[in-house]
Amino acid sequence: MTNFPRITKGHILTLITFGLIFLMITPAISQETDDYAIIYVYRLKKSTESDIKFKVLVGGEYVDSFDGVNSAFSAEYAGKWIACKRGKNEKCLVKINYNKKDKFKAKLMLDVRVGKRYFLEFNPAVGYGENPLRLMSNHEGFELLVMSDIDDINIIDADIKMQVKKEKDNGYFEESATEEIAYVDEPDNGTTQYRGGGDPLKGLNVSSAKKEMEIGNYYALIIGIDNYTGHWSNLNNAVNDAKAVEDILKTRYKIDHFKTMYNENATRTKIITELEWLVANVKEKDNVFIYYSGHGEFKQDLNKGYWVPIDATTNSTSQFISNNDIQTFLGGIKSKHTLLVSDACFSGDIFRGNTISVPYEDSDKYYKKVHDLVSRQAISSGGIEPVMDGGRDGHSVFAYYLLKSLKNNTNRYFDASQLYSNIKIPVTNNSDQSPKFQPIKNTGDEGGQFIFIRK
């Protein structure tokens, strides 16, 4: 008869304890199967210069390059991925060199750990001397990754290609933050007329989009009035401002349909007729830009603002176009985005007030997001205070800086928030007016942005 050892409670507790320890460490072992880290580098945009080749070096080793392509003649900003692996825990310096004497535009030091994924974004459109290489979160990096076909990813190490594809298909995601140290490269080395009536009133101080942008037609309605009669004094620069806006939009930006109304063509009836035409003809994917340059009026007892058309000869509101009228038409136009720019005394009764918008960043992902959301916004040259007709180089102060911003923009996409950001400080500092930029209330705004697209 064989004697078996007696199993006590102590033995059972010991077995259970070891079993629990084994169960706890098994997932950790299975999760840390990789003996290398994968580093992805993503080209956000094409080069703004022709024939520029950007070399990617990881840990001092050349892995691949991005060929520069002049993007001025193409709307395609599809990026390119480069992926390579590093086989041990180490600090890894990722550098982007370009072929002008092999100087580098950016570098980023990563604390590499096996089993991790590191997503780096490179924007060659950023000016020399700046650092366009940034470390993205893994989640954000994966969102960019799934926007690209697996064939668009140049896998330097062929043995990890199938693993990358599997991770992409399964929705790879990792929450842990990555420690990094960034290094920035050194740089390569008369009488003033006012557009308004009544007494001057001082006041009013101043995430993922994976589908391609579906861009419809762009419509522009440009209105400029100088030759007022009766109660209203002539202006000197309003038509010149409007024609300059027309010219810069025609020559530099995508506008498919133009309608201009200058002086005698800008009657109350004709302006309303054009707004009605936009309501009847603009489709849901289209975009509308409206520019008004002329007299504006604010009736304090009514707390209401108005445009003053050329056939208004008295100070009666019966001859004006009210903000309520404008608001009604902008709500009726079925566009994706409508941006109204008014260089006139302009009451804030049309505005929604303080709102939360998508934070700006210079990336295709941002522009796709704000393009997908409907917008109905207005930029005004001032509040209810009179705004100056004279300014610089034959333009009002507001128009001068508006034109300067549109002219100096070199990016493919340029949204209304960027335009306003460029003009608000110089206009405020060089005049007695305070520009405003807000959604127009009760018109369907969802937080998007009107986007100017360079030709």
What's the rounded Cα separation, in Å, for the pair 107 and 41? 12
- Residue 212 is encoded by which pair of tokens? 């391609």
> In terms of domains, do 44 and 159 share one?
yes
Contact between residue 46 and residue 71 where contact means Cβ atoms under 8 Å apart: yes
Strand partners, 29: none
How many C-beta atoms surround the C-beta of residue 340 within 10 A? 24
> In terms of domains, do 242 and 368 share one?
yes
| Backbone angles phi and psi of 150, in degrees to 5 | -60, -30
For the residues 66-83, what does the mean pLDDT come to?
59
266 or 135, which is more confident:
266
Least confident of 86-95, 264-273, 347-356: 347-356
Pick from 125, 160, 183: which residue ends a domain? 183
Under 8 Å CB-to-CB from 177, ≥6 apart: which residues? 137
**Residue 133 scores a pLDDT above 90:** no
Handedness of CA 132, 109, 55, 160 (dihedral sign): negative
What integer pLDDT is reported at residue 249 of this predicted model? 96
Angle 128-412-258 (CA atoms, 0-180°, nearest 5)? Answer: 145
CATH number at residue 248: 3.40.50.1460
Pick from 164, 183, 202: which residue ends a domain? 183
Q: pLDDT class for 439, splitting at 50, 70, 90?
A: confident
Secondary structure letter of residue 351 according to DSSP: B
Contact between residue 266 and residue 225 where contact means Cβ atoms under 8 Å apart: yes
Angle 312-318-324 (CA atoms, 0-180°, nearest 5)? Answer: 105
Smallest CA-to-CA distance from 402 within 443, 430, 365, 369 is with 430
Does 2 fall in a domain?
no
**Residue 51 scores a pLDDT above 70:** no
Does residue 96 sit in helix, strand or coil?
strand
Contact between residue 268 and residue 322 where contact means Cβ atoms under 8 Å apart: no
> In terms of domains, do 179 and 224 share one?
no
> In terms of domains, do 96 and 245 share one?
no
For the residues 393-420, what does the mean pLDDT come to?
90
> In terms of domains, do 272 and 173 share one?
no
What integer pLDDT is reported at residue 73 of this predicted model? 39
Does residue 356 sit in helix, strand or coil?
coil
Does 368 fall in a domain?
yes
> In terms of domains, do 280 and 414 share one?
yes
Pick from 133, 161, 183: which residue ends a domain? 183
Q: Give residue-wise pLDDT tens across range 274-325.
A: 999 999 999 999 999 999 999 888 888 888 888 999 999 999 999 999 988 9
CA 161 to chain centroid, in Å, comes to 33
The HSE-up count of residue 352 (CA atoms within 13 Å, CB side) is 21
Q: E-strand spans in 256-332?
A: 257-262, 287-293, 296-299, 304-307, 321-322
Does 161 fall in a domain?
yes
Does 18 fall in a domain?
no
Instruction: Give the global pTM.
Output: 0.54
> In terms of domains, do 115 and 173 share one?
yes
How many C-beta atoms surround the C-beta of residue 3 within 10 A? 5
Does 29 fall in a domain?
no
Highest mean pLDDT among 21-30, 205-214, 218-227 belongs to 218-227
- Residue 47 is encoded by which pair of tokens? 């080069």
44 or 210, which is more confident:
44
> In terms of domains, do 125 and 261 share one?
no
Handedness of CA 156, 157, 160, 162 (dihedral sign): positive
Domain that holds residue 152: 37-183
Contact between residue 83 and residue 156 where contact means Cβ atoms under 8 Å apart: yes
Does residue 353 sit in helix, strand or coil?
coil
Contact between residue 254 and residue 455 where contact means Cβ atoms under 8 Å apart: yes
Does 7 fall in a domain?
no
Count how many domains the chain has. 2
What integer pLDDT is reported at residue 131 of this predicted model? 60
Helix axes 161-170, 138-147, angle to 10 degrees: 100
> In terms of domains, do 243 and 114 share one?
no
Q: How many helices (H) and strands (E) does the chain have?
A: 9, 23
| Backbone angles phi and psi of 179, in degrees to 5 | -80, 130
199 or 328, which is more confident:
328
Smallest CA-to-CA distance from 213 within 454, 451, 455 is with 451
Does residue 141 sit in helix, strand or coil?
helix
What integer pLDDT is reported at residue 71 of this predicted model? 45
Amino acid at 82: I
Strand partners, 275: none
Does 196 fall in a domain?
no
Highest mean pLDDT among 98-112, 267-281, 431-445 belongs to 267-281
> In terms of domains, do 149 and 225 share one?
no
What's the rounded Cα separation, in Å, for the pair 99 and 104? 9
DSSP of 165-194: HHHHHHT--------EEEEPPPPP-----B
Does 13 fall in a domain?
no
Smallest CA-to-CA distance from 131 within 101, 96, 99, 100 is with 96
End-to-end CA distance of the chain: 96
What's the rounded Cα separation, in Å, for the pair 258 and 418? 23
> In terms of domains, do 414 and 279 share one?
yes
What strand order describes the sheet that includes 304-307?
A: 296-299, 304-307, 321-322
> In terms of domains, do 223 and 156 share one?
no
The HSE-up count of residue 324 (CA atoms within 13 Å, CB side) is 5
